[in-house]
Structure 1
């Protein structure tokens, strides 16, 4: 190396993946692949839900075989993982949207696919698509079954826009073979 070579700008090297640090479920990025329930899922999106200054949930959108599902990580006293998919709000037996519009709150119990779910949590916050501000305000109600294994979530986005999702709680160890994508 010559004297003047020291002043040449060093070429920036691309960020390397640390397999012991980055290939974890909570570190997945868009394009990553992960195995769950005998399928390989591709991470096609990442979003944040802010419920307060230090209260957030992370959400990864996963696609496999044409199905779109959502993996969510929430930390309260301990880390909790859930897996869900969007459902039609009309699939809930009760007319939840009418009840919320009339009483400013959902019914205490709802029925979905023959299972009764009881209101467990009510949250309000901001949804940050891609994890970036400014975000969109929303209200959410989570209903759980008697065994506390399944849930239905109803979200309100504005006055008359409602969405629903149904899912269940999962364990981190159920997700394997996390690999960076080719994007």
Structure 2
């Protein structure tokens, strides 16, 4: 009974849970879902750091018996840079050259706020360090960008329910 470690499924965490990623403790404040049509579904945890100064995103997909996990933070890029990146399949960010390697069409719904499904296109650009710059196109010239990396489940530690 004492000292028993609970194993949580990474795609089934709840709001209020805390976890440690990249030496920082994060608290899940919202949960969202992506439906990638024929490419499956993923869960996204919107998280804040312990001091609430930093927001990050953990996207988790359970695929073929294993987790595919992306840790990222929002970045601000000019509209013209985002549009050009999608058109040319190349972008320079933070001094590194990124190339488009994956793109998906899907829908997004914030489960916490109970929003309606919104359609989007997601473009994943990689650099030589395997960093990922994701550009999401929400239509009507509305874009968001995220910088991050794919991580392994073993890099997520100290999962604690609220």
- TM-score normalized with structure 2 length: 0.84
- Alignment correspondent of 1:41: 26
Q: What per-residue deviation string (whole Å, max 9, x for no partner) do you get for residues 74-121 of structure 1?
A: 24454211100000022x9x7232x37xxxx53221110011111011
RMSD: 2.3
The CA deviation at 1:25 is: 2.7
Distance 1:116 1:167 in 2: 14
Other-structure match for 2:103:
122
Against the structure 1 CA distance between its residues 133 and 56, is the aligned structure 2 distance closer, same or farther, given a 3 Å change threshold?
Answer: farther
The equivalent position to 1:139 in structure 2, one of 121, 124, 128, is: 121
Unpaired segments ≥5 residues, structure 1: 1-18
Q: 1:54 to 1:118 in 2, by over 3 A?
A: closer
From the CA coordinates, give the structure whose radius of gyration is larger: 1
TM-score relative to the length of structure 1: 0.75
Task: Tell me how far apart the structure 2 counterparts of residues 60 and 45 of structure 1 sit (CA, whole Å).
Answer: 6
Q: How many Å separate the matches in 1 of 2:59 and 2:102?
A: 16
The CA distance in 1 between the partners of 2:155 and 2:24, in whole Å, is 12
What is the number of equivalent residue pairs in this alignment? 154
Structure 2 unmatched ranges of 5 or more: none
Q: Which residue of 2 aligns with 1:5?
A: none
